């Protein structure tokens, strides 16, 4: 309501009418002449009402304890024409000291659907100087779960022209520690369609100096899944002139793990002319360990004229193991218009052997979902005058998987007169690695009626040098169901002079399953004089799994005099990675009587460096069901003098996962009389460096029931001088999950005096690349009480340069279900001075998408019984400044249904001797403002049957000075239906010596709104013969200053059906000298939901009150 000069006059008039003197005069006047009634009409001319009743109505309307009657009150005031008494209501609340109930009134206003008066409320709050309670209101709105009305609040603020208070709102939110609700705010703004106010928000933030909260904003945006609005944010930042904070943005983006938007950032930097910060960018990327963005960096280096470092880049990518990001590099090179270096890139790719990752790039483009922006890209290109990049456009369209627009492309090319650029198109297709889309091209050509241009196409292909891709085309032709044109294809090939690629054709025909034409193929080969390519044919037949024609092949080879090329064929099969057909070849070799060439085969394999493919052969033998030939293999090995390769055999068997055949191996060894060679086997294993297979051996020994030979094994190891490899043994034991023998191992180590080799063990684990077993190591270290060596482990990891594998470590820990060691990890990180990497850890977790695993972490902690480390976690969170996420964790626990594990937590705390930390827990809860979760704990305690610890709880609460939470305890006991335990509570209080606090208990019960138990109390008092102590009770209440809770008692009396004692109550109040609280009584009756007695109240005031309430 506008408060102009006339408004102030009317305000003071109303204040004068409401003053005590005026009220006393009107009261005395009404007492002397009760029939004289002053009244007025509302705008409808109805509802006369006595003016001298207004102060009581106003006072009743001001006390808004049970606000759900406020609308009734407002309706009443509107009916009698008192709508303007809202400010009087505010004045009243200020006068009687009820300003703190403003949030209660707002809550009620929201509850009863009076949200539309929010701007009036804000206007009033500004008028009376209450604007500083905005954060209190926000806090209250959060507390009562009304966060969803924030957008309504913003809409209202916009409606009444208060949008300029947004910065005040943000300041307030910062002041009261509500910054974490920013994402909720953004979510709400998005929900109600206010996303366009982001620039206003940024402007406001700039105005009030909140720019430094951008990283918090970004963190929140990441948390709530708003990352996709980053470009909107950058656009906004450019719009409002905040581009100068880009380096801050980069720093923050690195800090919060948004590195994947670096190219967007760099694009932005180019756009706004900040390319000179490239070295800073490189320094930053190196500093924060973002080596995976090297290709982005190299793209930029090419852009700024550093193209001569391409080979350096390839060297770098090879050195740091980033070869797999080459396709990303190619994508980037295309993006920045470096298409001319594609041949160089292809040359490089051939050089480094990455020619096969082209399809990975295509997969990448499809994976990242960039298909929809192609037309936007074309529009952009046209806008900036890049129409000459049509082939680049075609390359792009092909790259992002838009091949289906090829006919559109051809149509376009015909339309603009570019039909002669077909070879250019094919060149481009070859250049960007789209050769596999030829069948799509053929399909399209058929669709648009260009099938007659196949010869032209072949001629074109010859012209532009694509003749070698015929097999790819044949593959595609077969793939798309054009097999019936094979003869036509062959005819065509003969016609255009392509008959020399027949072996390629044969290769492809074998690949796509056209084996039935092999004889036709051979006939063809003889006819055209290609019989000299038989070894190529043999290579191909082996490749496509045509081993059944080996005899025919051998017959052919003997016929044409090529029998001497068997070694060449073996060399070929090894060279081309065809080891998987070895068992088929062995079968054939046995069939044709060539079994004696096995050692020659092994010699060959050793000669060409393929000895490591033995496991592949064993895999194949297993695959084709040749496992039963192991003894034959052993017999052969013995026959040809290869018995010394047993350890190699075991190595290979372990490598390829054939450990389950160890018992078979032992059975075989027993069968052939080699069981006595176990020490020899161990010696062999030591000799060839296979000590790491001991755990697999132990696993198998356990499997076959030989576990009792562990001592024998140790004895044997001591006998043959292997006792010094115990740490290697420990490494292996940990690796294969035999941790249950660690204690035994430690006992052994103590026995033999090797207890000092634990760090050697860790060194070994790092040396052999077993870092992923760290969690197993940590588990065992926790079990045996060696947890203090984690910092040594971290030091080791730093020493060997493995510190960047933290996220891998976390991934591993999650994979094997060891997420519960995070707090231990954090503790250790703090101990060794790495606490500053916590945010890096969080960034990493965000980067790898592990943020959502908090509940999984809690689940893990519960599963492995680490609940007792919660206080450690809380301590750590406080130490690193994350204490504000406690409620988020509790929310998570509630979300995943883990609240019921509190009793488990208490059990754990009791078990590990932490029961004394309950008060610490309560202190923590009080510190972070979570004291309201006490009832949740009590609920859980009741659920698990721990109610009998109430006196313990009371003792604890008294000990730590939390006696004031007794009423909360009683509230919760009533909430969960434990009201029947009141006598138990009294008994407990008597037991612990608290019986003298009866008045304190009554105070507490009144304070927390438990007055509804008064009748129960009265019943109890009647039972024990204390009914005469009601006056004493009132005296007590007066003594302790609780006389203002009378209305609460009346509420409860009304609730339990004691309304008939109102006169008794009035009599009592008159008796004890409280007759002056009649107005308070009326106010209270309105407050406690007795609005339906307003007419009764008015009736009572219109007529003289009966005895004893005449006054």
Angle at 275 between CA 269 and CA 280, to 5 degrees: 100
In a domain, 952, yes or no: no
pLDDT interval class at 80 (50, 70, 90): low
Above pLDDT 70, what percent of the chain? 0
| Pair (689, 769) in one structural domain | no
> What's the pLDDT score for residue 584?
44
| Pair (1020, 1110) in one structural domain | yes
Which of the 8 DSSP states describes residue 1042?
-
Helix extents (H) in 789-863: 790-799, 806-815, 822-831, 838-847, 854-863
**Could you tell me which of 448, 367, 443, 445 has the C-alpha nearest to residue 401?**
367
In a domain, 930, yes or no: no
- What is the end-to-end Cα distance of the chain in Å, rounded? 38
Q: Which domain holds residue 697?
A: 626-709
| Pair (894, 822) in one structural domain | yes
What is the Cα–Cα distance from 551 to 580, expressed in whole angstroms?
A: 19
The pLDDT tens digits for 278-332 are 444 444 444 444 333 444 555 544 454 433 434 444 444 444 443 334 444 444 4
Residues 6+ apart with CB under 8 A from 463: 423
SS (H, E, C) 6-74: HHHHHHHHHHHHHCHHHHHHHHHHHHHCCCCCCCCCCCCCCCCCCHHHHHHHHHHHHCCCCHHHHHHHH
| Pair (841, 781) in one structural domain | no
Residues 6+ apart with CB under 8 A from 408: none
| Pair (1021, 1106) in one structural domain | yes
The pLDDT tens digits for 765-776 are 444 443 334 444
| Pair (1028, 1072) in one structural domain | yes
> What's the pLDDT score for residue 986?
47
Q: What's the rounded mean pLDDT across residues 898-918?
A: 41
Torsion, Cα of 394, 400, 403, 406 (10° steps): -20
Q: Is the Cβ–Cβ distance between 772 and 766 less than 8 Å?
A: no
Torsion region of 39: left, alpha or beta (phi above 0 gives left; psi -120 to 50 gives alpha): beta
The pLDDT tens digits for 36-66 are 434 434 434 444 433 333 333 333 333 333 3
SS (H, E, C) 649-669: HHHHHHHCCCHHHHHHHHHHH
| Pair (774, 819) in one structural domain | no
The pLDDT tens digits for 408-425 are 444 444 444 443 434 444
573 burial level (CB within 10 Å; 0-12, 13-18, 19+): buried
Q: Is the Cβ–Cβ distance between 613 and 579 less than 8 Å?
A: yes
Last-in-domain residue among 801, 834, 866: 801
The pLDDT tens digits for 913-968 are 433 334 444 444 444 444 344 444 444 444 444 334 444 455 444 444 444 444 44
In a domain, 1035, yes or no: yes
Last-in-domain residue among 904, 934, 969: 904
832 burial level (CB within 10 Å; 0-12, 13-18, 19+): middle
Query: Residue 1024 in 3-state DSSP?
Result: coil
Would you say residue 1064 has pLDDT above 50?
Answer: yes
Residues 6+ apart with CB under 8 A from 1007: 967, 1042, 1045
In a domain, 847, yes or no: yes
In a domain, 790, yes or no: yes
Would you say residue 1063 has pLDDT above 50?
Answer: yes
* Chain centre distance of CA 1052: 48
**Could you tell me which of 113, 112, 132 has the C-alpha nearest to residue 122?**
132
In a domain, 1104, yes or no: yes
Helix extents (H) in 950-1012: 950-959, 966-975, 982-991, 998-1007
Which of the 8 DSSP states describes residue 1103?
S
**Could you tell me which of 807, 787, 791, 810 has the C-alpha nearest to residue 799?**
791
> What's the pLDDT score for residue 932?
40
Q: Is the Cβ–Cβ distance between 733 and 699 less than 8 Å?
A: no
Q: What is the mean pLDDT of the chain?
A: 43
The pLDDT tens digits for 614-672 are 444 444 444 444 333 444 444 444 444 443 344 445 444 444 443 333 444 444 444 44
Q: Is the Cβ–Cβ distance between 1070 and 1108 less than 8 Å?
A: yes
> What's the pLDDT score for residue 985?
52
| Pair (796, 735) in one structural domain | yes
The pLDDT tens digits for 865-892 are 433 344 444 444 444 444 343 444 444 4
Q: What's the rounded mean pLDDT across residues 158-172?
A: 44
In a domain, 47, yes or no: no
Question: Tokens 């160089």 identify what position?
Answer: 344
**What is the Cα Rg of the chain in Å?**
43
Question: Tokens 């910062």 identify what position?
Answer: 174
Q: Is the Cβ–Cβ distance between 1054 and 1090 less than 8 Å?
A: yes
Would you say residue 551 has pLDDT above 50?
Answer: no
pLDDT interval class at 440 (50, 70, 90): very low
Angle at 417 between CA 412 and CA 419, to 5 degrees: 75
Q: What's the rounded mean pLDDT across residues 744-759?
A: 44
| Pair (824, 779) in one structural domain | no
In a domain, 689, yes or no: yes
Which of the 8 DSSP states describes residue 1104?
P
| Pair (871, 816) in one structural domain | yes
Q: What are phi and psi of 497, to 5 degrees?
A: 80, 35
- Overall domain count for the chain: 4
**Could you tell me which of 712, 715, 711, 735 has the C-alpha nearest to residue 723?**
715
**Could you tell me which of 364, 369, 456, 346 has the C-alpha nearest to residue 410?**
456
Would you say residue 1079 has pLDDT above 50?
Answer: yes
H/E segment holding residue 324: none
Last-in-domain residue among 801, 822, 840: 801
pLDDT interval class at 1096 (50, 70, 90): low
Q: Is the Cβ–Cβ distance between 18 and 58 less than 8 Å?
A: yes
Question: Tokens 């594990």 identify what position?
Answer: 901
Between 861 and 673, the higher pLDDT residue = 673
Question: Tokens 């496991």 identify what position?
Answer: 615
Q: Is the Cβ–Cβ distance between 1050 and 1086 less than 8 Å?
A: no
Would you say residue 1027 has pLDDT above 50?
Answer: no
Tallying the residues shown for the chain, one arrives at 1111
Would you say residue 1082 has pLDDT above 50?
Answer: yes
| Pair (689, 743) in one structural domain | no
Residues 6+ apart with CB under 8 A from 882: 838
> What's the pLDDT score for residue 976?
43
Give exposure, 590-609, as e/b (b: 16+ Cβ within 10 Å): eeeebeebbeebbebbeeee
| Pair (826, 900) in one structural domain | yes
**Could you tell me which of 60, 311, 293, 106 has the C-alpha nearest to residue 1087?**
60
> What's the pLDDT score for residue 872?
45
């Amino acid at each position: 309501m506008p408060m102009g000069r006339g408004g102030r006059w009317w305000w003071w008039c109303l204040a004068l009418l409401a003053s005590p003197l005026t009220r006393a005069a009107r009261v005395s006047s009404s007492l002397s002449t009760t029939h004289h009634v002053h009244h007025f009409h509302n705008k409808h001319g109805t509802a006369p009402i006595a003016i001298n009743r207004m102060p009581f109505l106003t006072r009743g309307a001001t006390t808004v304890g049970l606000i759900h009657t406020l609308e009734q009150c407002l309706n009443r005031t509107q009916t009698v024409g008192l709508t303007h008494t809202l400010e009087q209501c505010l004045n009243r609340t200020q006068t009687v000291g009820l300003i703190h109930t403003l949030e209660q009134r707002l809550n009620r206003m929201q509850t009863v659907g009076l949200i539309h008066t929010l701007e009036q409320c804000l206007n009033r709050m500004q008028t009376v100087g209450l604007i500083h309670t905005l954060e209190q209101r926000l806090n209250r709105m959060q507390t009562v779960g009304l966060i969803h009305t924030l957008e309504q609040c913003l809409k209202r603020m916009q409606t009444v022209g208060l949008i300029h208070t947004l910065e005040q709102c943000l300041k307030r939110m910062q002041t009261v520690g509500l910054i974490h609700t920013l994402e909720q705010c953004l979510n709400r703004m998005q929900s109600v369609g206010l996303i366009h106010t982001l620039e206003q928000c940024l402007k406001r933030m700039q105005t009030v100096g909140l720019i430094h909260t951008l990283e918090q904003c970004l963190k929140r945006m990441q948390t709530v899944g708003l990352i996709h609005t980053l470009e909107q944010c950058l656009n906004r930042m450019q719009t409002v002139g905040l581009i100068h904070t880009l380096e801050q943005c980069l720093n923050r983006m690195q800090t919060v793990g948004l590195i994947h938007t670096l190219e967007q950032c760099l694009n932005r930097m180019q756009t706004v002319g900040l390319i000179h910060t490239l070295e800073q960018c490189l320094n930053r990327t190196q500093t924060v360990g973002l080596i995976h963005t090297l290709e982005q960096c190299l793209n930029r280096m090419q852009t700024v004229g550093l193209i001569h470092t391409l080979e350096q880049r390839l060297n770098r990518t090879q050195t740091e193991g980033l070869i797999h990001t080459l396709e990303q590099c190619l994508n980037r090179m295309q993006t920045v218009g470096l298409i001319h270096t594609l041949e160089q890139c292809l040359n490089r790719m051939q050089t480094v052997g990455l020619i096969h990752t082209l399809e990975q790039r295509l997969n990448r483009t499809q994976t990242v979902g960039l298909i929809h922006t192609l037309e936007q890209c074309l529009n952009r290109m046209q806008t900036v005058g890049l129409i000459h990049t049509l082939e680049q456009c075609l390359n792009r369209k092909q790259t992002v998987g838009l091949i289906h627009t090829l006919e559109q492309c051809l149509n376009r090319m015909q339309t603009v007169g570019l039909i002669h650029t077909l070879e250019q198109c094919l060149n481009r297709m070859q250049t960007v690695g789209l050769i596999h889309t030829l069948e799509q091209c053929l399909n399209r050509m058929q669709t648009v009626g260009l099938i007659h241009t196949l010869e032209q196409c072949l001629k074109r292909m010859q012209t532009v040098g694509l003749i070698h891709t015929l097999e790819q085309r044949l593959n595609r032709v077969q793939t798309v169901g054009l097999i019936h044109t094979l003869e036509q294809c062959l005819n065509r090939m003969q016609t255009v002079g392509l008959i020399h690629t027949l072996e390629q054709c044969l290769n492809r025909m074998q690949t796509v399953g056209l084996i039935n034409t092999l004889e036709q193929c051979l006939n063809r080969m003889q006819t055209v004089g290609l019989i000299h390519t038989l070894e190529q044919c043999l290579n191909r037949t082996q490749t496509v799994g045509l081993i059944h024609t080996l005899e025919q092949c051998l017959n052919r080879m003997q016929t044409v005099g090529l029998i001497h090329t068997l070694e060449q064929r073996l060399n070929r099969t090894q060279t081309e990675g065809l080891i998987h057909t070895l068992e088929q070849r062995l079968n054939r070799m046995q069939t044709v009587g060539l079994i004696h060439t096995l050692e020659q085969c092994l010699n060959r394999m050793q000669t060409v460096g393929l000895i490591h493919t033995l496991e592949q052969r064993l895999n194949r033998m297993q695959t084709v069901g040749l496992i039963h030939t192991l003894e034959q293999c052993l017999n052969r090995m013995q026959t040809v003098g290869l018995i010394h390769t047993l350890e190699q055999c075991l190595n290979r068997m372990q490598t390829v996962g054939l450990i389950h055949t160890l018992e078979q191996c032992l059975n075989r060894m027993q069968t052939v009389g080699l069981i006595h060679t176990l020490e020899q086997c161990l010696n062999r294993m030591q000799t060839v460096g296979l000590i790491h297979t001991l755990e697999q051996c132990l696993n198998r020994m356990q499997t076959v029931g030989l576990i009792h030979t562990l001592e024998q094994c140790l004895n044997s190891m001591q006998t043959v001088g292997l006792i010094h490899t115990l740490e290697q043994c420990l490494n292996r034991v940990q690796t294969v999950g035999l941790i249950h023998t660690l204690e035994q191992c430690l006992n052994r180590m103590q026995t033999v005096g090797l207890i000092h080799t634990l760090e050697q063990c860790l060194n070994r684990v790092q040396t052999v690349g077993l870092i992923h077993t760290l969690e197993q190591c940590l588990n065992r270290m926790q079990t045996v009480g060696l947890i203090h060596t984690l910092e040594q482990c971290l030091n080791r990891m730093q020493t060997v340069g493995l510190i960047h594998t933290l996220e891998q470590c976390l991934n591993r820990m999650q994979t094997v279900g060891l997420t519960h060691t995070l707090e231990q990890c954090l503790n250790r990180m703090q101990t060794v001075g790495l606490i500053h990497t916590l945010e890096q850890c969080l960034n990493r977790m965000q980067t790898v998408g592990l943020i959502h695993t908090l509940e999984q972490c809690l689940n893990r902690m519960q599963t492995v019984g680490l609940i007792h480390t919660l206080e450690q976690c809380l301590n750590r969170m406080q130490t690193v400044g994350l204490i504000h996420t406690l409620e988020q964790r509790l929310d998570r626990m509630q979300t995943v249904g883990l609240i019921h594990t509190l009793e488990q937590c208490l059990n754990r705390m009791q078990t590990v001797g932490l029961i004394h930390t309950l008060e610490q827990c309560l202190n923590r809860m009080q510190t972070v403002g979570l004291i309201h979760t006490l009832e949740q704990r009590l609920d859980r305690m009741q659920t698990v049957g721990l109610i009998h610890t109430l006196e313990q709880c009371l003792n604890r609460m008294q000990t730590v000075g939390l006696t004031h939470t007794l009423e909360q305890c009683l509230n919760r006991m009533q909430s969960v239906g434990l009201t029947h335990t009141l006598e138990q509570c009294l008994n407990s209080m008597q037991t612990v010596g608290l019986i003298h606090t009866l008045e304190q208990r009554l105070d507490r019960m009144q304070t927390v709104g438990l007055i509804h138990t008064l009748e129960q109390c009265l019943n109890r008092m009647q039972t024990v013969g204390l009914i005469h102590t009601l006056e004493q009770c009132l005296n007590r209440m007066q003594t302790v200053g609780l006389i203002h809770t009378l209305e609460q008692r009346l509420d409860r009396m009304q609730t339990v059906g004691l309304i008939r004692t109102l006169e008794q109550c009035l009599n009592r109040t008159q008796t004890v000298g409280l007759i002056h609280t009649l107005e308070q009584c009326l106010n209270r009756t309105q407050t406690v939901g007795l609005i339906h007695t307003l007419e009764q109240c008015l009736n009572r005031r219109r007529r003289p009150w009966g005895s004893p309430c005449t006054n």
